Structure 1
């Protein structure tokens, strides 16, 4: 029996994030079509640069916080902590979920500000400041061509909002859609037809890549 065709990937995070994720699955054909564009917005930069502690729920907020100078950074997960460390902050890493930051916030002994995007999945018990916007984008021509072909396309969902936006774009496509969701909250926002789906065991890129491989193994069995 001939081997089944290798499923393809549709990656919709901002391009640097998507390229990092594609490198974790080098044997897969991948098309990148960001569903969101990150745009800085005006904010009180002087105050943000002076505060002794920051709460980061996304690496996209780190550049707005200015030089780290060893300041405390409470980070949602490993990727955000890495970005904060590279910027000169002293990070404390959570478990990948916003809820995991709560004990870190309670234990902090310095004033904190949470710089974040205009669209926020969860409020935290700390002062917030909008420093960027996440502007919805349509799928590009390469993504539309990918979805017009028959066969499986694996789609990783990294947030509830991207799940909502993307499911509106993927109605009535020829491709067989497989969904790998980073959380049950992201999965719950998916509205388009799905051939198979799974939720990652933890909210990390590594676990998401493993979830996609698991979907492919199910196809081959």
Structure 2
């Protein structure tokens, strides 16, 4: 049976990340209708003091960009995500290990004998300073909420099927507050923790098999095919 219409794919990540993800989806399914509506933006900050560090931990590309912009010099680095690692390498960092999520890096971080610097945004899912005695942290960017635009709100209320991939607990909570009572929502979550962060009135939801872009592309396409 041939579908006569496709759902709308609503991407709420910060614009650069949303555009990267949209490109991955469209490479697989160029006919998709994608709406990019960031629900939060990235604002880089200059910390009063940038701690010296032999080893840093980057959990996002924004951490790399913010650290370099604040005057941080290349060193050794642990990275969450292939895109983050690529950004760090291009900035001159020696990437020691790349993991799909922070949980997979914890054994390496726990065994690290040197002082570690967690380069982070204002909001994080894990504060490693409280978890490890040899970790300091520095905030180099903020993630203020900007909300959903009229086009996204109208789509959610229209009855048209909308597939929304959600990548963090904070973005899931923000989306739940903004979305109201969507009539035909299909939600793709990068992890069980993200799905647990907010209650959404979805028709169907799935969690990615791997917590990375590849896993999210796969689960998003699966949901599209179920509409």
Q: What is the TM-score when the length of structure 2 is the normalising length? A: 0.87
* Corresponding residue SS for 1:37: coil
5+ unaligned residues in a row in structure 2: which ranges? none
Q: Residue 167 of structure 2: which of 150, 155, 158 is its match? A: 158
* CA 170–46 in structure 1, closer or farther in 2 if over 3 Å, else same: closer
1:134 aligns with 2:143: yes
1:35 aligns with 2:44: no
5+ unaligned residues in a row in structure 1: which ranges? none
* CA 100–2 in structure 1, closer or farther in 2 if over 3 Å, else same: closer
* CA 217–44 in structure 1, closer or farther in 2 if over 3 Å, else same: same
Distance in 1, matches of 2:32 and 2:49, equals: 41
* Aligned residue pair count: 216
Q: Residue 116 of structure 1: which of 95, 117, 120 is its match? A: 120
**Which structure 2 residues correspond to residues 77-88 of structure 1 after superposition, within 5 A?**
77-88=81-92
Distance in 2, matches of 1:64 and 1:138, equals: 23
* Corresponding residue SS for 1:127: strand
* Corresponding residue SS for 2:140: strand
Distance in 1, matches of 2:82 and 2:91, equals: 14
CA contact (8 A) 2:115 2:136 kept: no
Q: What is the TM-score when the length of structure 1 is the normalising length? A: 0.89
1:3 aligns with 2:3: yes
When the two chains are superposed, the root-mean-square deviation of aligned CA atoms in Å is 1.9
Q: Residue 75 of structure 1: which of 79, 83, 86 is its match? A: 79
